Amino acid sequence: MSETLPALFTPLALRGVTARNRTMLSAMNQHVAKDGFADDGLLVHLGKFALGGFGIVTTEATAITPEGRIAPGDLGIWSDDHIDGLRRVTGFLRSAGALAAIQLGHSGRKGSSRRPWDGGPLTDADARNGEPPWAVVSPTAEALGPGHAVPRALGPDGIAAVLEAYATAAARADAAGFDLVEIHGGHGYLIASFLSPVINTRNDAYGGDLAGRMRFALEVAQAVRGRWPAHKPLMFRISSVDGHPQGWQIEDSVILARELKARGVDVIDCSSGGLRESTAIENTNRQLGYQVPYARAIRQGAGIATAAVGLILDAHQAEAVLGAGDADLVALARQALYDPYWPRHAAQALGLDPAFESWPTNAGWWLAKRATGLARIGYGPTGAPVTGG
């Protein structure tokens, strides 16, 4: 083992829990749950990332109400009946050394959609296949796009009901054994719609100026923090910018982050985009680490821990992000799907674990023997030839 830990593998203390390193699996919707229930498939799916060495493993966006689903098959936490299945998952994640995190979400006007690989809103044809559309809500009665249902604008009673659903979901998450809650406040879903000056054209206390548009997000954070144990950390995912010229800007995110911190949020997860049908900024001109500057700006401007996400591919890139003080965590999604053992491989790339000592013994022992055999014939542990002197 290296004597000096790379920043990527320095433990991170958050309130009363500690992540073993600075890697986090981002929430990625799978859309395979039945009636919102966690099953063996979810345990296997998330479990491989815990075995792969991630410090924090996050569920997909987990709906706080049935209407808060994005698409059929979304994971749910709107019923006490969901707790036992989730508890099996958290138990395994912790046994493998990871913190178990759950992302709580409400889709808002983006709900009642087909799975993303099918695209578009649910229709009568989907209903005939057992997946009927459902009513959606939003700050205003503006549809997401052509063919999408016109949402019901939430009034005071509707807002109160959603706040209670978030709070109750947080209590269920605690009962299910989660170590960390993340509120999804980005990508054009319900909270982000309230924040947006483009979508939120209300003229009441939940609209108008920045303070009014932030009110719902801050009340959600307060509601969750009030039912989430004080020793457990709370994260909040935002779209740092939404990609619309007249939309949400990084300066707004810094102000929001300060207010969230004052209400007990510990980490801002810094994504972007998704104001309308897309869930991320246009793919054009994306560069590696393209969202890292948002994490840096919010960390510096609001004095709060941040997670950097978006085209972070290898260990040296991640180490540079953390070493520069741009973020406190690096969050991976599709790169983790490509390589569920990314943290284990990153440790080797940074010279931290040449003998596979950090791996579970039943895997590391075999890999060490493999590495010894490969070395005898001039190959490194990745299977690449060793060159140079």
Q: 354: pLDDT confidence band, cut at 50, 70 and 90?
A: confident
Question: Span 69-89, mean pLDDT?
Answer: 98
So where are the chain's domains? 7-353, 358-389
The residues, any chain, with a CB within 8 Å of residue 155's CB and separated by 6 or more, are none
Mean pLDDT of the chain: 95
Question: Span 125-139, mean pLDDT?
Answer: 96
Q: 279: pLDDT confidence band, cut at 50, 70 and 90?
A: very low
Q: What is the DSSP string of 259-303?
A: HHHHTT--EEEEE---SSSSSSS-STT--TTTTHHHHHHHHHHH-
* Bridge partners of residue 113, in order along the sequence: 121
* pLDDT recorded at residue 4: 84
Lowest-confidence segment of 160-174, 203-217, 218-232, 341-355 by average pLDDT: 341-355
Kindly tell me if the per-residue pLDDT of 283 is higher than 60: no
User: Domain 7-353, CATH 1.10.3720.10 — does that match?
Assistant: no
Kindly tell me if the per-residue pLDDT of 87 is higher than 80: yes
* pLDDT recorded at residue 2: 46
Question: Span 146-173, mean pLDDT?
Answer: 98
Kindly tell me if the per-residue pLDDT of 278 is higher than 60: no
Question: Span 269-283, mean pLDDT?
Answer: 72
Q: 382: pLDDT confidence band, cut at 50, 70 and 90?
A: confident
Q: Which residues are catalytic?
A: 189
| Confidence (pTM) | 0.95
The residues, any chain, with a CB within 8 Å of residue 115's CB and separated by 6 or more, are 31, 71, 72, 73
Residue 228 DSSP one-character state? S
* pLDDT recorded at residue 286: 83
Question: Span 167-190, mean pLDDT?
Answer: 99
Kindly tell me if the per-residue pLDDT of 47 is higher than 90: yes
Lowest-confidence segment of 18-32, 316-330, 355-369 by average pLDDT: 355-369
Question: Span 21-48, mean pLDDT?
Answer: 97
d(CA 285, CA 367): 39
Q: 387: pLDDT confidence band, cut at 50, 70 and 90?
A: confident
Kindly tell me if the per-residue pLDDT of 9 is higher than 60: yes
Long-range CB contact pairs, 127-132, < 8 A, 24+: 131/72
Q: What is the pLDDT of residues 252-272, one digit of tens each?
A: 999 999 999 999 999 999 999
Question: Span 17-24, mean pLDDT?
Answer: 99
CB distance 217 to 194 below 8 Å: yes
* pLDDT recorded at residue 389: 52
Kindly tell me if the per-residue pLDDT of 3 is higher than 70: no
Alpha carbon 212 to chain centroid distance? 26
CB distance 386 to 378 below 8 Å: yes
